[in-house]
Amino acid sequence: MKRLIFVAFAGPVAWTLHSLLSVTLVPAACTAPPGPFLLHGVTVILALLAISGTVTALRLAPATPGQRFVSTTSLLINSFFTLVIVAEGIPNAVLNPCWS
Amino acid sequence: MTSVIEPLPKFLEGGAGEPRDPLKRVWSDGHGLRAWFSTVQNGPIVYRFMTTVFAFFLLGGVEALLMRTQLAVPENTALSPDLYNQLFTMHGSTMMFLFAVPMMEAFAEFLLPPMLGSRELPFPRMTAFLFWVVLFGGLLFNMAFVVGQLPDSGWFAYTPLSNIRFSPSLGVDFWLLGLDVAQIGAVGDVFELAVGILRMRAPGMSLAKMPLYLWSILVMAFMMLFAFTPLFMCTLMLQLDRHWGTHFFDPAAGGDPLLWQHLFWIFGHPEVYIMFIPATGMMAMIVPTFARRPIVGHRLVILAMVATGFISFGLWVHHMFTAGLPLLGMSFFTAASLMIAIPSGIQIFSLIATLWTGHVHFRTPLLFALGFISVFVVGGLTGVMLAAVPFDWQVTDSYFVVAHFHYVLIGGLLFPTFAALYYWMPKLSGRLLNEKLGAINFAVMFIAFNVTFFPMHVSGLLGMPRRVYTYAPGLGLETPNLISTIGAFALGIGVLLFMVNVVYNVYLGHGQPPDENPWRAGSLEWATETPPGDEGWRVPPIVHSRLPLWEQERLDEGDPRWVQLAHALEHYPTHFRASLVTSLSDAIPQAIVRLPGPSILPMVAAIALMTVFAAELYNVHPLAIGAGIIMAGAIIGWMWPPKVERERRLADDGGPTIHGLPVYTSGPVAPAWWGMLFVLLVMAVGSACVIFGYYYLRVRAPEWPPLTTAKPGLVLPLANLVVLAALSGAMALALRSIKRGVTDRTLAALGGAAALAALFLVVQGVEFSTWGWTPDANAFTSAFGLLAGIQTTFVLLGLIMTAVVTIHALLGYFNHWRFLAIENLGNYWYFVTGHWVVLLVVLYLT
């Protein structure tokens, strides 16, 4: 059950954290020594979290049709949120965090 | 393929007066004036709910026509600038708060029981309460016309324009308080819809077999929970700023007007999808019916709905691109705003592919569905354009934006609503609407809509700002504005045609009575009586398919145990309103739930709620307190066990099971357990919004707390933590004792819990007296005071609930298999204790 809950929410939770952390860390990325790498790190870690949801969904052995439905739908959702996290990470490579 | 459950024998239909059939009798709400006010049946409530909401829609439409009249020619003087400001505020607010979302809720309330295969939703009195609060909240809001104090700061009421200095009249207060009443109903409806879908589906209707409309309403319910609660909290903060001297949005005292924008748009952007997602759910039922094939990409559409629901909460900053935020920060929201086009596109392409590969029958509901697809796509495309920061900077607050959101809202909401009204009207009223008039109705509305709003793209690109009551001649704005005005009146004629169709065919009864399944649809709701009887499904259906009416020979075959159960439920129990509870993912029967009957108390509670807010509007605090007490009494009475149940409980008669299923459940099997879970979620989200505001202000403050303000000490809050920990322990003891049947210890533990809650309030009162400042000193004290006040309110509510449950225990209403109220109360107190730990960290330790 815990794994099922993990695969259902890994992607959306990773994306939520990515959005909030990225916005919050922009001023720090402008002034702190790691600079934009701070933001790249956040993107990589949270994309990995979403991907782990996808992988776990692939490896699940659902016991009932309902669980099978949740795991396959979660697989799609986690894949999609991985894509969104990557898309949100692209501006970090293009824009200077100090620009306003 | 026609699906069959044996119809009710004629001799059981009953004659005048009381039905002879015991099942019909127990589900009947009776007749007469008292029954009219106390009914909890979905049918009559939804009928009047839709009528009320449609009346608000007409009012908003008239306001729009007045604005378009003013803008027909340059430098027109038909309306004064002030009246124009008031009209666009009332128009936007009416359409968004009193028409769009309530209409979606009304449809859901009507369609869920027949589509779920359930006799009722889990909290029928909440349905009645929802109607009354929307009615009274809408009336309170529109009382502003009567007293001549209309709000004029727009439907999003930006601060500082909406604060007491720049909006000193009561207009903004009518806006805040009237709409708050309606929003409380909306949040209450979340419990009804979400718990109904999660726990009251027909046997066999697993998540995979659930119709897409139910998925859309499930997503909508969760979105409403996470969106309307922030709205309620930010309107509370503005009201406190306006009349209680706090400084959340006052930069002179450490507040920040941008906090309002953040909190408002955290609600405001998902609001668009709260309307759009159920609308696509409707389309996903209507389009396959007329394409005569299942929808293409069923699972992808579910993915799209769920993903849209999540992402819609990460787009709010694209309404604030001109507010001076860091460029990189805005780009994250640009990326998310572009990415939401993927799930939105999946939903649209799924509908197109279904039509492309089906055998299409062009009937009025499908025409409106096609209107939805074409209009919404245009709105979606301009939405993608507006997600790009440079483009947004060029056209923000221009008529281009007005055109964009009307394409989204009218395309994504109004056309689907009309499609749904034409499609489900036979089920709702027992009469078909006229098809020819329906087609003309669609043609007029579709053309008129585009004539009205397409030229606004041009006006906007030419630089015409929104919310300005007139424009100068010679700027190239005359022609597009005149065309828009002509189109707006034609759109009004389109709406009138619909009303003629409804009045003639439904209210005057000239419409044809429909067949059992007039559109040859495949979903479950068309297998019930038309209109559905009070008892809904006499024999709960057994579902093996997503489209049972197309793919199942009968609805009462399958697992023999389920078949036996379904038929047994037709005959027993008939001394109370019984409905099935099924498991979360696979819909396996788990319990029989006892549902409440008619009551006037939801209406009393709604009137009292409106009186609280109306009294606050004029600062008559004693009246507000009195009305609050009446409301609390009404809610306690509303939840009090009825006589039949009290007698059975006290006699401990009949045993805890019927047909092998438990009647008194606890934990996640019980719908009320889920209800409490959602209550706690609402409380958590509301508190999280204020915590967000606290940190938002803190990050921007040079000193936190300001040098003139001392931060309160830690001793008393820590003492209160000990009190709450002991209280949680007492609740755990009470639950363990009642499960073992030790009622004396249960009573003692409940009494102890109540005493500890009172002690918390006393200690909290002492702490308040040691602060040395009041919440109206600066932004720090305002945010600190509000969070502390929220905790105090939670404990006060908990104390009242504990007192009520203790009285129930004294009366002997609990035993070792009837203890859900104690379990729910325990969960409440565990949450309140955890909440206090969070506040200790936020307020005192960081």
Say whether B327 and A99 touch across the interface (CB within 8 A).
yes
For Cα atoms B213, B216, B218, give the angle at the middle one, nearest 5 degrees. Answer: 110
Q: Report pLDDT for B12.
A: 43
Residue B78 exposed, middle or buried by CB count within 10 Å (0-12, 13-18, 19+)? middle
Say whether A66 and B331 touch across the interface (CB within 8 A).
no
Nearest to B208 among A19, A65, A90 (CB): A65
Tell me the nearest-neighbour CA distance from A45 into chain B, angstroms. 17
Q: How many CA atoms lie within 13 A of B473 on its CB side?
A: 5
Q: Which helix (H) or strand (E) holds B658?
A: strand B657-658
Say whether B306 and A84 touch across the interface (CB within 8 A).
no
**Sign of the Cα pseudo-torsion (B128, B130, B136, B142, in order):** negative
ipTM: 0.93
Q: Report pLDDT for B648.
A: 63
Q: Does A50 touch chain B (CB under 8 A)?
A: no
Pair B431, B505: CB distance under 8 Å: yes
Distances (CA, A) of B702 to B241, B342, B423, B707, B710: 21, 42, 59, 10, 15
% of chain B exceeding 90 in pLDDT: 83
Q: Provide mean pLDDT across the span B643-666.
A: 72
- In the predicted model, is pLDDT for residue B606 greater than 50? yes
Say whether B331 and A96 touch across the interface (CB within 8 A).
no
Instruction: Choose the mutation target among A22, A60, A86 for the interface with B, i.e. most B CBs under 10 Å.
Output: A22
Say whether B311 and A15 touch across the interface (CB within 8 A).
yes
Say whether B328 and A92 touch across the interface (CB within 8 A).
yes
Q: Provide mean pLDDT across the span B495-510.
A: 96
Average the pLDDT over each of A18-32, B428-442, B746-760 and give the range with the smallest value: A18-32
Pair B817, B667: CB distance under 8 Å: no
Q: Which residues of A touch B300 (CB under 8 A)?
A: 76
Q: Report pLDDT for B676.
A: 96
Nearest to A19 among B208, B314, B583 (CB): B314
**Sign of the Cα pseudo-torsion (B389, B692, B846, B243, in order):** positive
Nearest to B328 among A12, A15, A97 (CB): A97
Is the pLDDT higher at A65 or at B100? B100
Tell me the nearest-neighbour CA distance from B274 into chain A, angstroms. 18
Q: Report pLDDT for B651.
A: 54
Say whether B332 and A90 touch across the interface (CB within 8 A).
no
Instruction: Give the integer Cα–Cα distance in Å for B365 and B519.
Output: 10
Say whether B331 and A15 touch across the interface (CB within 8 A).
no
Residue of chain B whose alpha carbon sits nearest to that of A73 = B303
Nearest to B206 among A29, A65, A95 (CB): A65
Q: Does A92 touch chain B (CB under 8 A)?
A: yes
Q: Report pLDDT for B14.
A: 45
Say whether B339 and A87 touch across the interface (CB within 8 A).
yes
Q: Provide mean pLDDT across the span B427-445.
A: 96
Pair B778, B247: CB distance under 8 Å: yes
pLDDT per residue over B324-381, tens digit each?
888 999 999 999 999 999 999 999 999 999 999 999 999 999 999 999 999 999 999 9
Please provide residue B324's backbone torsions phi and psi, each rounded to the nearest 5 degrees.
85, 30
Say whether B207 and A69 touch across the interface (CB within 8 A).
yes
Q: Which residues of A touch B329 (CB under 8 A)?
A: 22-23, 26
- In the predicted model, is pLDDT for residue B49 greater than 80? yes
Structure tokens at B215: 């998925």
- Which residue's structure tokens are 């819809």? B193
- Residue B398 carries which DSSP code? B
Single-letter amino acid, residue B505 = N
Say whether A66 and B585 touch across the interface (CB within 8 A).
yes
Say whether A16 and B306 touch across the interface (CB within 8 A).
no
* Average pLDDT value for chain B: 92
Average the pLDDT over each of A2-6, B501-505, B827-831 and give the range with the smallest value: A2-6
Q: Does A67 touch chain B (CB under 8 A)?
A: yes
Instruction: Choose the mutation target among A23, A64, A70, A75 for the interface with B, i.e. most B CBs under 10 Å.
Output: A23
Say whether B328 and A81 touch across the interface (CB within 8 A).
no
Tell me the nearest-neighbour CA distance from B749 into chain A, angstroms. 33
Instruction: Choose the mutation target among A39, A75, A95, A98 for the interface with B, i.e. most B CBs under 10 Å.
Output: A95
Single-letter amino acid, residue B678 = F
Residue of chain A whose alpha carbon sits nearest to that of B585 = A66
* Average pLDDT value for chain A: 89
Q: Where are the beta strands (DSSP E) in B150-206?
A: none
- In the predicted model, is pLDDT for residue B11 greater than 50? no
Q: Provide mean pLDDT across the span B736-758.
A: 95
Say whether B332 and A22 touch across the interface (CB within 8 A).
yes
Residue of chain A whose alpha carbon sits nearest to that of B329 = A23
Q: Report pLDDT for B8.
A: 45
Residue of chain B whose alpha carbon sits nearest to that of A64 = B586
Q: Does A88 touch chain B (CB under 8 A)?
A: yes
Q: Which residues of A touch B338 (CB under 8 A)?
A: 87
Best mean pLDDT range from B433-447, B565-579, B813-827: B433-447
Nearest to A64 among B306, B333, B585 (CB): B585
Using an 8 Å CB-CB cutoff, list residues of chain B that contact chain A: 206-208, 299-300, 302-303, 306-307, 310-311, 313-314, 317, 324-329, 331-336, 338-339, 342-343, 583-587
Is the pLDDT higher at B11 or at B465? B465
Say whether B338 and A76 touch across the interface (CB within 8 A).
no
Tell me the nearest-neighbour CA distance from A62 into chain B, angstroms. 12
pLDDT per residue over B376-413, tens digit each?
999 999 999 999 999 999 999 999 999 999 999 999 99
Say whether A88 and B307 touch across the interface (CB within 8 A).
no
Structure tokens at B133: 């609060």
Burial B713-724 (b: 16+ CB within 10 A, else e): eeebbeebbebb
- In the predicted model, is pLDDT for residue B650 greater than 60? no
Single-letter amino acid, residue B331 = S
Q: Provide mean pLDDT across the span B82-90.
A: 96
Q: Provide mean pLDDT across the span B787-797.
A: 97
Tell me the nearest-neighbour CA distance from A23 into chain B, angstroms. 5
- In the predicted model, is pLDDT for residue B16 greater than 60? no
Burial B602-619 (b: 16+ CB within 10 A, else e): bbbbbbbbbbbbbbbbee
Residue of chain B whose alpha carbon sits nearest to that of A85 = B336
Q: Which residues of B touch A37 (CB under 8 A)?
A: none
- Residue B669 carries which DSSP code? G
Tell me the nearest-neighbour CA distance from A2 into chain B, angstroms. 15
Q: Report pLDDT for B655.
A: 60
Instruction: Give the integer Cα–Cα distance in Å for B235 and B177.
Output: 8
Q: Provide mean pLDDT across the span A18-46.
A: 89
Q: Provide mean pLDDT across the span B687-704.
A: 93
Instruction: Give the integer Cα–Cα distance in Å for B519 and B370.
Output: 17
Say whether B326 and A96 touch across the interface (CB within 8 A).
no
Q: Provide mean pLDDT across the span B145-149.
A: 91
Residue of chain B whose alpha carbon sits nearest to that of A1 = B585
Confidence label for B716 from pLDDT (cuts 50, 70 and 90): very high
Tell me the nearest-neighbour CA distance from A60 into chain B, angstroms. 16
Please provide residue B425's backbone torsions phi and psi, each rounded to the nearest 5 degrees.
-55, -40
Instruction: Choose the mutation target among B332, B337, B347, B393 for the interface with A, i.e. most A CBs under 10 Å.
Output: B332
Q: Which residues pair with B657 in a beta bridge?
A: B662
Say whether A66 and B328 touch across the interface (CB within 8 A).
no
pLDDT per residue over B234-270, tens digit each?
999 999 999 999 999 999 999 999 999 999 999 999 9
Instruction: Give the integer Cα–Cα distance in Å for B198 and B444.
Output: 40
Say whether B328 and A95 touch across the interface (CB within 8 A).
yes
Q: Provide mean pLDDT across the span B473-496.
A: 97
Is the pLDDT higher at A97 or at B502? B502
Q: Provide mean pLDDT across the span B733-762.
A: 96
Tell me the nearest-neighbour CA distance from A40 into chain B, angstroms. 13
